Amino acid sequence: MDGAEEELTAHQTALYDRQIRVWGVDAQKKLSKAHVLVSGLNGATVEFCKNIVLAGVGSVTLMDDRLVSEEVLGANFLIPLDEYANSNKSVAELCAQSLRNFNHMVGVSFLSGELSQMDGQFFDKFDVVVVCSFSQKDKILINEICRKRQKRIAFYTIDCRDSCGEIFTDLQNYTYMQKKGDERIERQLNYPSLEEAILIPWKDLPRKVTKLFFAMRVLEKFELLEGRKPGETSLADLPSISKLRKDLCEAQGLKESHVADSLLEKLLAAGKMEHPAVCAILGGILGQEVIKAISGKGDPLKNFFYFDAADGKGIIEDISVPSTVTA
């Protein structure tokens, strides 16, 4: 991910003119050397892929072996309807075909298989790993693999449940130059892993942490205990999830009303549905974050981002064990 010595070509300069005016030539060179893996191609990740392919990263590798269905098409604009009809191509292959046309300078490829089954060396090919719609167990597993590699691999999760969305970021130990007026000072951030973050006792968290954080943990736990895939829920699950919420909240020293019924209902009812506008917002935020992490420019998100179309707020939450909060 080190900046390249060679200059951008005339074509790159012409194509990237407007964004170079935003983040500079050095950032653009670093982008062109970065390799990004995306597993799970839903509305939010498709938006993200569009953004980073346009921005001009070195390569994007897609993983998603599903065949096209109504569910897949929901918020996906990369699959031309006439082409998939008679094909046995995977979602990853169809999306790769479209993305290649967005920017010929980006290497777009696809792989089949389960990311959680890949060995550590596989991950070394990438600078950034993004997973979408993974179970809590697999998210934690993949996060740990990334953390164990010698090179630093930035790890992100992104999930959209209808009008609500969550992004998690782990940049491990991340050093960057922060702009303070005209000065630049070196800043270091220490990120907890996903497992560390969600194991922090709830009562130790600031009182104003968005309720969505807790609701998403209840939902993930529910899916885990019931052996459901992410989003395999419906309103019929409300009684059992309410009970789980009560147990979890009480075990954490919080009242069960801390996570409102209406919020749980909304997330259960959403199932696998994605709100395309919310996908665009989440994919946009994640795109910016990945560009920041690669280029070392700008304050990166630490470590959760939430959006809910109901109130329109896009919130950053720092859920870290106290020792990692301070730089």
Q: Give the residues lining the site for another protein (CB under 8 A).
A: 7, 10, 13-23, 25, 43, 47, 50-51, 54-56, 74-82, 101-103, 162-163, 273-281, 283-285, 287-288, 291, 298-299, 305, 307, 309, 311-317
Q: Considering the complex, state which of residue 145 and residue 154 has its C-beta at the smaller distance from another protein.
A: 154
Closest distance of CB 48 from another protein, Å: 9
The residue to which tokens 């665009």 are assigned: 280
293 vs 302: CA distance, rounded Å: 11
Q: Considering the complex, state which of residue 74 and residue 296 has its C-beta at the smaller distance from another protein.
A: 74
For residues 40, 191, 56 and 287, what is the CA-based torsion angle, rounded to 10 degrees? 60
Closest distance of CB 5 from another protein, Å: 13
Q: Considering the complex, state which of residue 135 and residue 288 has its C-beta at the smaller distance from another protein.
A: 288
Closest distance of CB 249 from another protein, Å: 23
Closest distance of CB 188 from another protein, Å: 18
Q: Considering the complex, state which of residue 123 and residue 306 has its C-beta at the smaller distance from another protein.
A: 306
Closest distance of CB 237 from another protein, Å: 19
280 vs 109: CA distance, rounded Å: 23
183-190 and 173-180 strand pairing: antiparallel
The residue to which tokens 């859920």 are assigned: 319
The residue to which tokens 């300078």 are assigned: 105
Give the three-state DSSP class for 230: coil
Task: Centre a 10 Å sphere on the Cβ of residue 116 and count the other Cβ atoms it contains.
Answer: 15
Q: Considering the complex, state which of residue 40 and residue 300 has its C-beta at the smaller distance from another protein.
A: 300
Closest distance of CB 43 from another protein, Å: 7
173-180 and 128-132 strand pairing: unpaired
105 vs 60: CA distance, rounded Å: 11
Q: Considering the complex, state which of residue 136 and residue 233 has its C-beta at the smaller distance from another protein.
A: 233
6 vs 4: CA distance, rounded Å: 6
